[in-house]
Amino acid sequence: MNRVGEQTFLYEHPPAIVSHASIVGPKEGRGPLASWFDTVLEDDILGQKSWELAEMEMVRRCAKNAMNQAQLSDEDVQAMLGGDLNNQIIASSFAARTLGIPFIGLYGACSTFVQALVMGAALISGGFLENALCVASSHFCTAERQFRFPLELGTQKPPQASRTATACGASLLAAQGNDNALRVTSGTVGRVIDLNITDANHMGAAMAPAVFDTVAAHLSDTGRRAEDYDLIATGDLGWIGRDLLLALADAAGIDLPPEKLIDCGASLYYQEQDTHAGGSGCGCVASVSCSWLMKRMEAGELNRLLLVGSGAMLSPTSSQQGQSVPGIAYAACIERSKV
């Protein structure tokens, strides 16, 4: 049985997360989760000639770290699933060029890492792959100049804006794995939801309805309640979007206890780091889940996590043409000790 309900994959053979790696930039390395990350970069450029090349190098290093931990070489990994925010996902595809691993390019904006987990787990549970590397990245400097303004302008951000994290996370999934391994047990594919937010800086508001829709679908499909999870981690609604999600759940009569709910974007920085609404970007939920969340699960602090990645499906062109900002969310249930 590989399916349940309307939108949820129930993995008959839940793949193990055999390794995970995270890498973050200097600002993220001064935040509250600093000690959890595998690598904190000293600068944003990694010795490269451009920020885009730096992001590619970040993806390559993070992917290699995950593979090294699992003692797998580039030739051993059967597929790399991932993406990033750069136009035509060049950070991921150029990293895949260097690694030489068969590549499945995804685009779910900031939800891409969870989208990769959902799809990678399906391909393994379905018997198509023995293993899969799921990866997503973002870089503050590549995102700013692409989506907003050249950094050199020193533009002020509005208070509802979030900060694109310089970060990457990678998880290596495999059909095999030890008895205590974390496993991806189910995954929910979201719909594109649009409540007509036209402020392209207001990511939390644009994405909260999609997160709500996917969480509601996941709970309905699996017949569970929020309290059946030790933690529901969204990424990345930020401080404002998190409150909106709680309000949407409340209005729909879905019990979403605030103490069960954290947001990766709201956890990545101290509020005094002046990131306004919190962190965002594909690398935020990827790096936070591949460090803090998975390490806490492995330590036995959490047994069942619902990881919900959300993305705002906008482009500068769609914003300039006055289009609203639709959101999408994918959810992956990660459990400890379930074979």
User: Which residue lies nearer to a copy of itself by CB, 1 or 299?
Assistant: 1
Decide if residue 224 touches a copy of itself (CB under 8 A).
no
> How far is 338 from 335, CA to CA, in rounded Å?
7
Helix (H, G, I), strand (E, B) or coil at 197: coil
Q: Choose which of 32, 126, 258, 300 interacts with a copy of itself (CB under 8 A).
A: 126
Angle at 246 between CA 216 and CA 201, to 5 degrees: 100
User: Which residue lies nearer to a copy of itself by CB, 106 or 297?
Assistant: 106
Residues paired with residue 189 on neighbouring β-strands, in sequence order: none
Decide if residue 220 touches a copy of itself (CB under 8 A).
no
Least distance CB 179 / a copy of itself (angstroms): 25
Q: Contact at 8 Å (CB) between 139 and 44?
A: yes
Collect all residues with Cβ–Cβ distance below 8 Å to 225 and sequence separation of at least 6.
219, 255
| Closest of 46, 139, 47, 129 to residue 92, by C-alpha | 139
User: Which residue lies nearer to a copy of itself by CB, 50 or 155?
Assistant: 50
Helix (H, G, I), strand (E, B) or coil at 333: strand
Q: Choose which of 26, 43, 68, 127 interacts with a copy of itself (CB under 8 A).
A: 127
Collect all residues with Cβ–Cβ distance below 8 Å to 196 and sequence separation of at least 6.
324
Q: Contact at 8 Å (CB) between 314 and 192?
A: no
Q: How far apart are the first and last CA of the chain?
A: 15
Sole window of 31-39, 119-127, 232-240, 295-303 interacting with a copy of itself (rule: CB under 8 A):
119-127
Using CB under 8 A as the criterion, what x/- string covers residues 168-187 for binding a copy of itself?
--------------------
Sole window of 116-124, 162-170, 218-226, 331-339 interacting with a copy of itself (rule: CB under 8 A):
116-124
Least distance CB 299 / a copy of itself (angstroms): 31
Can you give the binding site for a copy of itself, defined by CB under 8 A?
A: 1-3, 6-7, 9, 12, 49-50, 52-53, 78-79, 83, 85-90, 93-94, 96-97, 100-109, 115, 119, 122-123, 125-129, 146, 189-194, 313-318, 321, 323, 326, 328
